Amino acid sequence: MDASRDIVIPKEFEFGSDDDVLVLESGRPFGPITVRYETYGTLDKAASNAVLLLHAFSGDAHAAGYLSGEESRPGWWDSMVGPGKPFDTDRYFVICSNVLGGCRGTTGPGSIDPASGAPYGLSFPVVTIGDMVNVQERLVTRLGIKRLLAVAGGSMGGMQALQWTVSYPARVASAIILATTARPSAQAIAFNAVGRNAIMSDPRWRGGAYYGHEPPARGLAIARMVGHITYLSDASMHAKFGRRLQERDEFGFDFSDQFEVESYLEYKGGTFVDRFDANSYIYLSKAIDYFDLEGKYGSLERAFANAVSKFLVVSYTSDWLYPSYQSKEIVVALMRQEKDVSYTEIDSPFGHDSFLIETERQGRMISSFLQTAQRGEEER
């Protein structure tokens, strides 16, 4: 065991069993809900240094550090979260929770329905990005935090961060919005649809009631492969794989040939099924597809009309899943509403995944932005 490692202890928070049920955006009351979360750093006396991280589609509450001395890799944003890092745990109290509908400790379709004693499966309600944020609001309130110094996230996490500034404007001093959109395009929805179809077409899916049986691993692996393609770019795939073959130099003119990119996708799909629930894939991808601030509020400008947070919006040139123009739409709507917003487009070849990779470049901006936000709070 490596003694130098910061071991993080995940925590759980429960609510919604009695009169504090959560009313979902669909109108359905839902509870009880368990929330898995992790925290890093120390909450100051005034509870004014809290930063809420919002994870992306396949992320979880484990943003930084190690859960045990044996864990091979740290949390998903460990490069950004820690002492002296952009989300500096010497300055900020950083919180990350698993989303509603997920499968990494927070209540989701794989959780046991207390009414039936069996996993929810498809009887789990359809949840939205707004519902996820409402759950996070309960957690933040429970932690004694009236106002967050910042909410921050990329991709689906960016959607939640945007939703926070709209749902709870006075409780968010600043928002860091990376590689996201205020409404996924038809193209983005199409890829999610292929993923859901792959899962639902797997006979092992059994209409979602596969718990206690073999899970629809093949369907989920294919869904993940499709998803993974959308996270990369032409340039990054070319650099990483080119047209190289795995394990041979020439075509064998049979179907045992594999291009390196194929075996990589197989690998990514295969490892994903060990840590992800197929039904959560369906629910979370649907939540993304439903997300539409423009449709919900009539226009983006109207959506942000009551927002009072400072915004930092970052897009990446090679991200074709949520291209820069979609970030610019967010920025323009905020500017036209006279909101305090900064925007940068980082020239990066890593596609949608850039926000997980361009740590150094985005990190310096995020670090400055957070410090400005903190100064602003002190002067408030």
Is the CB of residue 103 less than 8 Å from the CB of residue 127? no
Q: Binding string, 92-131, against another protein, x = CB under 8 A?
A: ----------------------------------------
Residue that the structure tokens 């740290």 belong to: 74
Q: Does 369 bind another protein (CB under 8 A)?
A: yes
Task: Indicate the DSSP class of residue 204.
Answer: G
CA distance 345 to 356: 15
Give the range of 85-93, 94-102, 205-213, 341-349 binding another protein by CB under 8 A: 341-349
Report the candidate in 283, 117, 139, 141 with the shortest Cα–Cα distance to residue 200: 283
Smallest distance, Å, CB 226 to another protein? 31
- In one-letter notation, the amino acid at residue 124 is F
Q: Does 209 bind another protein (CB under 8 A)?
A: no
Nearer to another protein, 278 or 334 (CB): 334
Is 319 in the active site? yes
Task: Indicate the DSSP class of residue 176.
Answer: E
CA distance 356 to 95: 18
The pairing of beta strand 33-40 with beta strand 93-97: antiparallel
Q: Does 341 bind another protein (CB under 8 A)?
A: yes
Is the CB of residue 88 less than 8 Å from the CB of residue 367? yes
Give the range of 19-27, 126-134, 219-227, 367-375 binding another protein by CB under 8 A: 367-375
Task: Rule CB under 8 A: choose which of 26, 42, 116, 368 binds another protein.
Answer: 368
Nearer to another protein, 88 or 202 (CB): 88
Q: Does 299 bind another protein (CB under 8 A)?
A: no
CA distance 213 to 226: 25
Nearer to another protein, 275 or 375 (CB): 375
Residue that the structure tokens 């925007």 belong to: 343
Burial (CB count within 10 angstroms: exposed 0-12, middle 13-18, buried 19+), residue 275: exposed
Is the CB of residue 183 less than 8 Å from the CB of residue 293? yes
Smallest distance, Å, CB 232 to another protein? 22
Is 213 in the active site? no
Q: Does 359 bind another protein (CB under 8 A)?
A: no
Report the candidate in 122, 5, 135 with the shortest Cα–Cα distance to residue 71: 5
Burial (CB count within 10 angstroms: exposed 0-12, middle 13-18, buried 19+), residue 36: buried
The single residue of 155, 167, 233, 327 carrying the catalytic annotation is 155
Is 62 in the active site? no
The distance from CA 366 to its chain's CA centroid, rounded to whole angstroms, is 18
The single residue of 60, 88, 319, 353 carrying the catalytic annotation is 319
Total number of residues that touch another protein (CB under 8 A): 23
Task: Rule CB under 8 A: choose which of 54, 321, 331, 356 binds another protein.
Answer: 331
Task: Rule CB under 8 A: choose which of 22, 33, 346, 356 binds another protein.
Answer: 346
Phi-psi region at 167: left, alpha or beta (left = phi > 0; alpha = psi -120 to 50): alpha
Q: Does 301 bind another protein (CB under 8 A)?
A: no
Nearer to another protein, 67 or 365 (CB): 365
Q: Does 372 bind another protein (CB under 8 A)?
A: yes
Nearer to another protein, 79 or 344 (CB): 344
Task: Rule CB under 8 A: choose which of 246, 344, 357, 359 binds another protein.
Answer: 344
Cβ atoms within 10 Å of 217's Cβ, excluding its own? 18
Give the range of 136-144, 174-182, 184-192, 368-376 binding another protein by CB under 8 A: 368-376
For 152-173, letters b (16+ CB in 10 Å) and e give: bbbbbbbbbbbbbbbbbeebbb
The pairing of beta strand 341-346 with beta strand 310-316: parallel
Give the range of 41-49, 88-96, 121-129, 339-347 binding another protein by CB under 8 A: 339-347
Q: Does 375 bind another protein (CB under 8 A)?
A: yes
Task: Indicate the DSSP class of residue 345.
Answer: E
Task: Rule CB under 8 A: choose which of 238, 244, 275, 336 binds another protein.
Answer: 336
Active site residues: 155, 319, 352
**Which residues make up the interface to another protein (CB under 8 A)?**
310, 312, 331-332, 335-336, 338, 340-347, 361, 364-365, 368-369, 371-372, 375
